[in-house]
Amino acid sequence: MASHVVDSEIFKDIFGSAAMRAVFSDEGLVRRWLQVEAALARAEAKLGVIPEWAAAEISRKAVPENIDLERLRAETELVGYPILPLVRQLAQACEGGAGEYIHWGATTQDIMDTAMVLQLKDALGLIRDGLVELEDRLATLAEAYRDTPMAGRTHGQQALPITFGYKVAVWLAETHRHLKRLAELEGRVLVGQLGGAVGTLAAVGERGLEIQRLFLKELGLGVPEIAWHVARDRVAEVVCFLGLLTATLGKIAQEIALLSRTELAEVREPFAAGRGASSTMPQKRNPIGAEAVIALTKVVRQQVPIALDAMVQDGERGTGPWLAEWECVPEAFILTAGALSQLNRILGGLEVDVNRMARNLGLSGGLIMAEAVMMALAPQLGRQRAHELVYAACRRAEAEGLSLVEVLRADPELTRHLEAGDLKRLLDPDGYVGVAGAFVDRVVGLVRKDREVIKL
């Protein structure tokens, strides 16, 4: 019976995805342990360390159907680790004495670490797929609204006009950096483990390095320069990456939620009958997808200090910190997958209210264009004097409930330098978005160019 949201029949597809849960399921993990044991046997057989017939029998019997999960659970509770109980069951399934050659020269952590890296390989592939989808959705939005003006906001207040495409391009650039980080970290992270009891491969002697190379080649993993039983930076890097990624996902979701407030109403999540409904207020259409992303990503980021703390190990095999990874790594990946899925769903049907954006640009009565007026006056009056005059005009407009143009037209010092036509032009938000469109083009172009380089 599930007791955690990632496995709950009620909540599991809000907090994760079926594909990511499968990667970290008990069944998937047992399959990986068996895959690693079989690969080790085949590598050793190639070098004559164990008989070829034994490796063939081990490989045939290294399937989940030969493992009793209830027995594995009970014996793992007794031993404290699952590999010795796993090896016992696999050995009993093997015929002709082949079971005596299972796990030759290895240690529990070799098997579990290498299986975890295989999980990371699959899990990072799913994250990559979600990120590519996210990039595509953001690029489409950025191009579609490249020239759509809206209020840019700083410190929660209207500041200067931007375009919605520009805002989305900022999200896109950040997302793309994560995709590049992912491509870069895989070479460091997807490295297997085979070191024996203290990492020296003493049990197999001089053939250890060749066994290690063939073993990891069987699994399609990189070869470490030295055992990493107590060097957990690779695992921590992955979790830190997920922390960075989910900070971006949470930021985008929070922006969507804020922009969907009744007072702004510039975007809305895709409509589906009943989605985001209130149990008491029939009018409500809550940004429920964004809320899920915000919550999920907060929890993922709490796994980062756990992964960093697990790096602090003792001796050649740590006393406890390793086990913390068993909890934080699956949870971080499953929740990240859930957040990516939710955000992709939102962006795939995001409703953008262009008219409301235009309306909101006019809420301040032209005050949002104060910088444009100041910069137009600066060449004649000097920037500081121009700032003082426009600042005073803005305060008067606010105090007296006037529009900025009304105040400016009544100021003789200003009208000596600005004609009525100038004011009309300067107070038009559409004409003061800078090179927002060029920035959109630059970001989208970079994303598409890099896609070719990193082969996505």
| Residues labelled as active-site residues | 155, 278
Written as one string, the DSSP assignment of 161-229 is EEEHHHHHHHHHHHHHHHHHHHHHHHHHH-B-----SSSS-GGGGGGHHHHHHHHHHHHT-BPPSS--T
As a whole number of angstroms, the distance between CA 182 and CA 24 comes to 19
Phi, psi of 410 (to 5 degrees): -90, 0
CB 266 within 8 A of CB 341: no
Tell me how far CA of residue 450 lies from CA of 107, 180, 316, 455, in angstroms: 41, 9, 41, 8
Structure tokens at 348: 């795939």
DSSP states along 19-76? HHHHHTSHHHHHHHHHHHHHHHHHHHHHTTSS-HHHHHHHHHH-SGGG--HHHHHHHH
Residue 106 DSSP symbol: -
Q: What type of residue sits at position 430?
A: D
CA neighbor of 347 nearest in space, from 175, 150, 163, 183 = 175
CA angle 432, 433, 434 (to 5 degrees): 95
E-strand ranges in 295-384 read: 351-352
